[in-house]
Structure 1
C-alpha cells in the first residue's frame, strides 16, 4: 500500500469527523439511559479531540472558513472542560 501524505491527511480528516460525530452518539445514548437530555463530560473531550483533528486537517487544506469554525469550537470545548473541573473542585 502506498501511504502518501495526502492519504495521511485524509485519514486525519476522516478520523476527526468520526470522533466529532461520536460525541453526538455518546450524548444521545447517555440521555436515553438517563431518560432525560444530558451532556456527559465525555462529550466535551470528544468535541476537543475531534475539533483538534479537524482543525489540523483544515490548516493542511488551508481552508480559512473551516479553520475559523474549528478554532472557535475548540475554545468553547476547552472552556466547558475548565468550568466542569472548577465545579468538581468546589464539590470536593
Structure 2
C-alpha cells in the first residue's frame, strides 16, 4: 500500500467535470484506490460517491493505492490532481 496527501487546486473543487475525469482515470487503473477527505473515505471509481465527499479547492486529500501497480497508479493520480483534472 502506498499513500500520499495532495491539495486540490481546482477553483471549484471536485465537481462534476473533474470528478468524471478522476473517475475515468481511476477506473482504468488496476489498484484498489481510496481517497480520504475530512475523515470520509471514498472510492474514486464512482463519480457519485466521489462527488458526495464535497471536496473543495484547497482541501487536502489523501490518495491510497493498493495492488501490483500501486506506485505507478499513485503517481498517475497525483499528477492528474495536481494538474487540475482538465481544468485551469
More strand by share: 2
Q: Which has the higher contact order (CA 8 A, sep 6+)?
A: 2
**TM-score (norm. length: structure 1):** 0.29
**TM-score (norm. length: structure 2):** 0.30
More helix by share: 1
